Structure 1
């Protein structure tokens, strides 16, 4: 299977955890337009390289002003080879890295990093020239480049599950977890293979500018607005034929009635499954327990309402299914480190 084909999702032994693999949203990263460079090291995985310009390039504020200025960067300007046989034209050379707010490295088979655990002198110098406060991001096997640059040593990171053994051999000082979609370690973020780059870019937009902006981008790209970082990359065993019904329709139904009491038994009844079968199937499809998934979706809705309405905290808690204002405050502080009023000021400016 090539890196340009969809990742097979396998059940991880961490799928039963309640962990969300992010440091949580604290505040928008900065005001104004952020400079993002996408480092294209040949041969690049074309799909990976297309994700940041599309998603970050689509992110706009409420009056339609773009929030990110995305530039593709190569070893030189001109065509960059991809693993699929076509060329990608880089807009700038490596010197653009020095002024970037965020540097993103898509999947690549760049030989020194992938085979020897080192970088060519020009790439190493370019990454070393970045600003001290610049954020580093990798998609898929772009993590090999960050590993070779030494920025992942002692940190938790992820990459495409298929190349995890190679990564560990080359970069033993990195705490690699190939069972998750992405890892947010503050100023360094890494994603699993291919489509997980979409999840990570949406997470970055949400972290920088709030749920409403990220959801607009997701709607434009016709992708789910959320798949949490801790969701498993893949499913290890095929589900039995007799349990081949998906829980997806029940997930969509639950989203339409989050304010209502939604027990596992009620969800299972909607899916026409036993509670035991439903829980097993739900975990396999989402990597989350039903209760944890519901709590996250309710918090997502509460965040949207905080950003886009003047409703009181009490009303938002009721509409999102979190019950009481105290419960909303508790979950917002636990997950994001913010009170509702602070969250509203940060992402709405009121």
Structure 2
């Protein structure tokens, strides 16, 4: 993925355009060693593109500048039920030649108009899920997720979910290190749960609980230790019952669930970045043995550790 084009039309939503620029238009940062793309903003008729928020855009490039892009990002616009026929045609050609196509928010309707959602899982902003289902009955619309990837087609839900979907693509193409660096630069979490197991690591764990913050930080650095409720309660000078209640109050989950999630995230990182065996990784992150890691990993991520490694390890080391 070397060239990224963002398609805008009259009524372009500024947040959608800005989000794509934040992810794909950044110059090189030596401290992050981030990928840099041949980035272009294109529109059917170059010149003034009217915006809905009190200001317009001046876009120099026509759609021909996006004809060879490896990734086409379609930004949402007011009047999403009236897409440009030229944009629809460009998206059809891009998909046919194997390019990635990403529709942010209500831009999913433009993909529907192009026939690219037929038989595919997809999503859009929750307010417009029923409209998408009704207009494109062949589309497999899932309104309970932040984003969906089906082949080379990616659709994201509203506003900030465009960043989630873009970070997903960044990780898929360039590995978790690049995605985490991009998220850190934008001061957003690399991963937000969206109702399904999604392949985005969260290397920086949220340890900002009011009184348990130091303990959470210690846990992430000592995953191979005994992290039972009884042991953690003793370390924090509480009874197990009081500790469990305080933990849920401050983190919103149980100690066991939180620790398991941290162990899974650590296992993901090792699967991506090392060639150590599953059994070795299981011991390092505190699952004890490979069978336990396989059980928890498959249940949480929907794939086995070996399948996960095949998907991401080569990209991480590329």
TM-score (norm 2): 0.74
Which residue is 2:110 aligned to? 145
Note if contact 2:278-2:305 (Cα within 8 Å) is conserved in structure 1: no
CA distance in 1, matches of 2:166, 2:278: 29
CA distance in 1, matches of 2:257, 2:99: 33
For 1:129, what is the secondary structure of its paired residue?
A: helix
Which residue is 1:160 aligned to? 125
Structure 2 residue 3 is matched with structure 1 residue 38: no
CA distance in 2, matches of 1:329, 1:157: 29
Which residue is 1:172 aligned to? 137
Note if contact 1:180-1:229 (Cα within 8 Å) is conserved in structure 2: yes
Structure 1 gaps, min length 5: 1-32, 233-245, 284-288
CA distance in 2, matches of 1:158, 1:140: 8
CA distance in 1, matches of 2:160, 2:98: 27
Q: CA deviation at 1:164?
A: 1.7
Which residue is 2:58 aligned to? 89
Note if contact 1:255-1:297 (Cα within 8 Å) is conserved in structure 2: yes
Which residue is 1:48 aligned to? 16
Q: CA deviation at 1:346?
A: 3.8
Over alpha carbons, which structure has the higher Rg? 2
- Structure 2 vs 1, CA of residues 197 and 85 (structure 1 numbering), >3 Å: closer, same or farther? same
Q: CA deviation at 1:57?
A: 3.2
Structure 2 residue 195 is matched with structure 1 residue 227: no
Note if contact 2:3-2:38 (Cα within 8 Å) is conserved in structure 1: yes
Task: Give per-residue Cα distances to partners, 1:134-176, cap 9 Å, x unaligned.
Answer: 1111111111111111100111111000122222232222121
For 1:64, what is the secondary structure of its paired residue?
A: coil
Structure 2 counterpart of 1:100, from 65, 69, 74: 69
Structure 2 gaps, min length 5: 198-205, 234-238
Q: CA deviation at 1:100?
A: 1.1
Which residue is 1:9 aligned to? none
- Structure 2 vs 1, CA of residues 207 and 273 (structure 1 numbering), >3 Å: closer, same or farther? same
Q: How does 1:66-145 map to 2 (within 5 A)?
A: 66-109=35-78, 111=79, 113-114=80-81, 119-130=83-94, 132-145=97-110
Q: CA deviation at 1:55?
A: 1.4
Q: Which structure would you say has the larger RCO, counting Cα contacts within 8 Å and 6 or more residues apart?
A: 1
Note if contact 2:106-2:124 (Cα within 8 Å) is conserved in structure 1: yes
Note if contact 1:313-1:340 (Cα within 8 Å) is conserved in structure 2: no
Note if contact 2:180-2:190 (Cα within 8 Å) is conserved in structure 1: yes
Q: How does 1:1-350 map to 2 (within 5 A)?
A: 34-58=2-26, 64=33, 66-109=35-78, 111=79, 113-114=80-81, 119-130=83-94, 132-230=97-195, 249=209, 253=217, 255=220, 257-260=222-225, 274=245, 278=248, 282=252, 295=260, 297-305=262-270, 316-324=281-289, 331=297, 334=303, 338=307, 340=309, 343-349=312-318
Note if contact 1:282-1:290 (Cα within 8 Å) is conserved in structure 2: no
- Structure 2 vs 1, CA of residues 177 and 99 (structure 1 numbering), >3 Å: closer, same or farther? same
CA distance in 1, matches of 2:3, 2:53: 28
- Structure 2 vs 1, CA of residues 123 and 344 (structure 1 numbering), >3 Å: closer, same or farther? closer
- Structure 2 vs 1, CA of residues 214 and 273 (structure 1 numbering), >3 Å: closer, same or farther? same
Q: CA deviation at 1:186?
A: 1.9
